[in-house]
């Protein structure tokens, strides 16, 4: 399948070539024809699958075809794309700019946390396409600064994340303001019940297109897990960054505070690092992103919301410094590397309290994560209580004969003893494939 065969016109093909795309990704091959034909589309695909082009290319073509480009001031936008975060909004708009460079169509971005004036000006100057977060858009609509009654195509991108972020009421209000005769496209990485309900209330006879996220990540990303005590994670991170050729590394933390602390810790340890999360100013986030995209990127320590939708190619390594408690989030995270068919590496640090999270991730992926044992020397643990000392001695006795001679020495703390017995359990458990195991892509 080629882009030409999908029916895209010369202006778009020229832009696609300039972007270096040779063949459509699976989600593009499935969706472009339907969006071009004016159908409503329900897409299940995560960031990294090429979904932005899957809706942006055919939408640009449809807008251009009607020969009704907006040149005059004060005219209304015809396409509205709703997205959960400022970063994703910026990136979607950049994609429209890149794909639409030979079409003469214009877009405006709308998101909170910055002055509304330039955004309002861009809308008034005659944007054909609005890419917006729901909260700020609703705000501008309520002030009477943006009108939505000329919208012909609505796209909801990352609908599940918009639900997670509490945008559902704004979305419903916004949809209520749009003409009922319109085309609607909804993309979501997962399809929980509330997203399904929203989809059935706003889409008309939709075509469903889907790429299996689990398999996309499982197939292209090399994954491994270190069992490590929480207190040893900083040393292990420094070790893996220094040991492996990590050219562009994204480290995931669960909290903003944790991300800041870890970035500072790395900097103190002589490793260039920056944190990106929702408490940073827009400028700080853009700067961190720019540095990360540069030829000498610092390690980027990110929270899930901040990293969601980052359009960064060539992330060589993803480190799950803390495992997420929602298994799908793990899939999103590791999908940041190995994008658009490239191979990538994801490393997870699992402490004692995170084992249940790991079990759930493995259940979702239907496979065991290989265990990595290349640990550095950890500093000795603080003196433990008598009970712990006893179990530590037991763990030592249990684990010593199992350690192959070439292994680097491990810490002898209680967690590490448990890690070894768990490794043995895993080694056994990973032999037979679970019932119902299928290749999913």
Q: Enumerate binding residues for ligand AMP (CB under 6 A).
A: 21, 24-25, 28, 47-53, 311, 313, 339-340
Q: What is the total residue count of the chain?
A: 441
Least distance to ligand AMP, CB of residue 115, Å: 27
Q: Which is nearer to ligand AMP, 25 or 369 (CB)?
A: 25
Nearer residue to ligand AMP within complex by CB, 91 or 249: 91
**195 versus 211: smaller Cβ distance to ligand AMP:** 211
Candidates 371, 367, 365, 369; CA nearest to 433 is 367
Among 26, 28, 91, which Cα is nearest to 311's? 91
Secondary structure string (H, E, C) spanning 203-270: CCCCEEEECCHHHHHHHHEEEEEEECCHHHHHHHHHHHHHHCCCCCEEEEECCHHHHHHHHHHHHHCC
Tell me whether residue 330 or residue 378 sits nearer to ligand AMP (CB atom): 330
| Residue 151 CB, nearest approach to ligand AMP (Å) | 22
Of 340 and 389, which has the nearer Cβ to ligand AMP?
340
Place of tokens 């390690």: 299
Smallest distance from ligand AMP to CB 27, Å: 8
Quick one: tokens of 371? 């265990």
State which residue, 52 or 316, has the beta carbon closest to ligand AMP: 52
With b for 16 or more beta-carbon neighbours within 10 A and e for fewer, the 123-158 pattern comes to beebbbbbbbbbbbbbbbbeeeebebeebbbbbbbb
Instruction: Give the integer Cα–Cα distance in Å for 17 and 32.
Output: 17
Q: How far is the CB of 65 from ligand AMP (least distance, A)?
A: 22
CB atoms under 10 Å from CB of 225, counted, come to 23
Pick 99 or 227: Cβ nearer ligand AMP: 99
Q: How far is the CB of 182 from ligand AMP (least distance, A)?
A: 22
In the complex, the smallest distance separating the C-beta of residue 69 from ligand AMP, rounded to whole angstroms, is: 24
Cβ-Cβ contacts under 8 Å for 139 (sequence gap 6 or more): 112, 116
Tell me how far, at minimum, the Cβ of 310 lies from ligand AMP, in Å.
9
Residue closer to ligand AMP, measured from CB, 48 or 234: 48
In terms of C-beta density within 10 A (0-12 exposed, 13-18 middle, 19 or more buried), how is residue 379 classed? exposed
Minimum CB distance to ligand AMP, residue 344 (Å) = 13
Find, among 380, 422, 421, the residue nearest to 400 by Cα: 421
Measured CA angle at 342 (ends 94, 44), to 5 deg: 60
CA gap 312, 344 in Å, rounded: 13
Smallest gap from Cβ 309 to ligand AMP, in A, equals 7
Cβ atoms of 15 and 99 closer than 8 Å: yes
| Nearer CB in complex with ligand AMP: 193/295 | 295
| Closest approach of ligand AMP to the CB of residue 28, in Å | 6
Which residues, listed in sequence order, are joined to residue 129 by a DSSP beta bridge?
A: 79, 107
Burial annotation 181-210 (CB, 10 A radius, 16+ → b, else e): ebbbbbbbbbbeeebeebbeebbeebbebe
Tokens of 139: 């705000």
Q: Which is nearer to ligand AMP, 189 or 415 (CB)?
A: 189
**CB closer to ligand AMP, 11 vs 323:** 11
Nearest approach, Cβ of 345 to ligand AMP (angstroms)?
A: 18
Residue in the structure block whose two tokens are 């020495």: 409
**Residue 248 to residue 420: CA distance in whole angstroms:** 31
């Amino acid at each position: 399948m080629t882009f030409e065969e999908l029916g895209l016109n010369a202006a778009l093909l020229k832009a696609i070539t300039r972007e270096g795309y040779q063949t459509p990704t699976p989600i593009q091959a499935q969706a472009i024809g339907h969006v071009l034909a004016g159908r409503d589309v329900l897409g299940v695909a995560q960031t990294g699958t090429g979904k932005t082009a899957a809706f942006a290319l055919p939408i640009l073509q449809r807008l251009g075809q009607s020969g009704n480009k907006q040149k005059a001031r004060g005219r209304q936008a015809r396409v509205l794309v709703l997205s959960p975060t400022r970063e994703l909004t910026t990136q979607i708009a950049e994609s429209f700019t890149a794909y639409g460079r030979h079409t003469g169509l214009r877009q405006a971005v709308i998101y909170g946390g910055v002055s509304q004036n330039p955004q309002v000006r861009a809308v008034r100057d005659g944007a054909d396409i609005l890419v917006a977060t729901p909260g700020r858009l609703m705000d501008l609509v309520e002030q009477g600064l943006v009108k939505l009654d000329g919208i012909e195509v609505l796209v909801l991108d990352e609908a599940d994340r918009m639900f997670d972020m509490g945008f559902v009421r704004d979305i419903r209000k916004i949809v209520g303001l749009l003409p009922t005769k319109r085309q609607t496209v909804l993309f979501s990485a997962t399809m929980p019940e509330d997203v399904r309900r929203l989809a059935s209330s706003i889409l008309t006879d939709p075509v469903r297109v889907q790429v299996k996220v689990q398999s996309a990540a499982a197939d292209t990303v090399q994954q491994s897990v270190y069992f490590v005590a929480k207190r040893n994670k900083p040393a292990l991170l420094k070790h893996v960054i220094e040991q492996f050729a990590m050219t562009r590394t994204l480290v995931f933390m669960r909290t903003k505070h944790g991300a800041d602390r870890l970035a500072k810790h790395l900097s103190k340890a002589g490793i260039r690092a920056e944190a990106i999360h929702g408490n940073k100013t827009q400028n700080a986030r853009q700067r961190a992103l720019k540095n990360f995209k540069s030829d000498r990127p610092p390690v980027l320590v990110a929270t899930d919301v901040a990293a969601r939708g980052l359009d960064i190619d060539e992330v060589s390594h993803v480190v799950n410094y803390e495992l997420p408690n929602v298994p799908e989030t793990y899939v999103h995270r590791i999908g940041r590397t190995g994008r658009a068919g490239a191979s990538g590496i994801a490393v997870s640090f699992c402490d004692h309290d995170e084992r249940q999270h790991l079990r759930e991730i493995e259940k979702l992926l239907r496979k065991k994560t290989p265990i990595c044992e290349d640990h550095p020397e950890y500093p000795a643990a603080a003196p433990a209580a008598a009970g712990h000392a006893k179990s530590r001695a037991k763990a030592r006795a249990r684990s010593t004969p199992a350690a192959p001679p070439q292994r680097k020495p491990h810490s002898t703390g209680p967690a590490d003893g448990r890690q070894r017995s768990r490794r043995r359990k895993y080694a056994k458990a990973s032999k037979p494939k679970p019932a119902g195991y299928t290749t999913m892509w």
